[in-house]
Amino acid sequence: MNCIRLATALLVSALVLSSHPALASAQLAEMDKVHWILRGIDVFGLRSVTRDQVLATLPLRTGEPIKAVDKPMRDAWCARLRTQFQFAETNCVLVLEQPDMAYFSVDAVEKGDTSRVPPTARSWESGLKLSPELHALYKEIDELKDRTFAAGHPVVDLYRDREMVDYADPDLHRVAQDLQARIPARRNELIRVLMGASASRDRAAAADLLNFAGEPGATAAVIYKALDDPDAMVRNNVSRYLIKWAPRIQSEATREALVKVLSAQLRWASFGDRNKAIFVLTALAQSDEALRHAVAQRSCRALDEIARLSSAPNVGGAARDLLASLSGAGCSVTGPAHAARPRHG
């Protein structure tokens, strides 16, 4: 399995449980039919505080069971970290990796560390909203994907040699076919909503529906600018689009501009930003030799830090895979610094 195929496989088999969006308790309970085992704890962004100090405040042990339904408790732990160590911000997520692995990720932003916060100087178009019809279409596909994952089935996007996303799962395929027929005529409308609607839920839905709109290269060349959106789920959905379609961007200058944005995104205090930036960079590096060197030049240092600090396959593992593929361009591979710790991971 080559690097990009491995990256894609790791991405689609994982679900991140964070504060946004909130999954219904019934869905979380369904997920806990799987006996998840905590395999590692990742901690990013520390300057004046040590990893051991952070771990001492968390009632977690690697090798022990952990439940998706305990999310309110995990949110409380994260808030306590922010208060105890006077961080400017903390973000904590539980990552579920099929068949039964779980990883807990902590991001801290110490006061004055602006490099870990995405720029969010955006303005919104007054009165612009996603139509009720498009909201209903998004809700149908989004809830079906959640139910499919909760039932233990990976949600695999089929997109190679295609202009739109499809699915092997029969139910998802049926809905995708309907979207493929109805969404292309709304492509420009969706781009406008993504780039200008004031409601983050509208922007996030628009980014996801664009996977069924066609013209992916031209769309990716425009919407990558939404990677600085202030909402994490919007950035997540734009990044997921780019993982699939960014290599189809025709303009060399635009591809290089995207590499610059992604190299900054690697450093932001968000599991989702870090995870998705690695996979988009992987797709770009494998699509073009010149881009491979641009990725190496801009991203090696951040990738090396991620490789050292993360034990999660779809973050630290993906970073090490990308570093290995960039070795001829000047990058080196680093192993996880904390993978062998028996108590905390």
Q: Are strands 89-97 and 101-109 parallel, antiparallel or unpaired?
A: antiparallel
Instruction: Look at residue 99 and tell me if it is in a domain.
Output: yes
Q: What pLDDT does residue 331 have?
A: 73
Q: What pLDDT does residue 201 have?
A: 95
Helix (H) or strand (E) holding 38: strand 37-44
Contact 278, 266 (CB under 8 A): yes
**Domains held by the chain: number:** 1
Q: What pLDDT does residue 187 have?
A: 97
Q: What pLDDT does residue 139 have?
A: 95
Q: What pLDDT does residue 9 have?
A: 33
- Beta-bridged to residue 65, according to DSSP, are 37
Instruction: Look at residue 29 and tell me if it is in a domain.
Output: yes
Residues with Cβ within 8 Å of residue 24, at least 6 apart in sequence: none
Instruction: Look at residue 100 and tell me if it is in a domain.
Output: yes
Q: What pLDDT does residue 20 have?
A: 37
Q: What pLDDT does residue 345 have?
A: 30
Q: What pLDDT does residue 3 have?
A: 35
Angle, alpha carbons 200-121-270 (nearest 5°): 60
The CATH number linked to 75 is 3.10.20.310
CA distances from 265 to 40, 141, 333, 337 (A): 23, 28, 20, 22
Q: What pLDDT does residue 327 have?
A: 81
Q: Are strands 89-97 and 14-17 parallel, antiparallel or unpaired?
A: antiparallel
Count of residues in the chain: 345
92 lies in which domain range? Answer: 14-116
Residues with Cβ within 8 Å of residue 138, at least 6 apart in sequence: 130, 205, 208, 209
> What's the predicted TM-score (pTM) here?
0.85
Q: What is the pLDDT along the chain (345 residues), one digit of tens a residue?
A: 333 333 333 343 455 555 334 455 556 666 667 788 999 999 999 999 999 999 999 999 999 998 877 788 889 999 999 999 999 999 999 988 877 889 999 999 999 888 888 877 678 888 999 999 999 999 999 999 988 887 878 888 999 889 999 999 999 999 999 999 999 999 999 999 999 999 999 999 999 999 999 999 999 999 999 999 999 899 999 999 999 999 999 999 999 999 999 999 999 999 999 999 999 999 999 998 888 999 999 999 999 999 999 999 999 999 999 999 998 766 766 666 654 333 233
Q: What pLDDT does residue 12 have?
A: 38
CA–chain centroid gap for 271, Å, is 7
Instruction: Look at residue 61 and tell me if it is in a domain.
Output: yes
Contact 96, 118 (CB under 8 A): no
Among 234, 246, 237, which residue's Cα sits nearest to residue 196?
Answer: 234
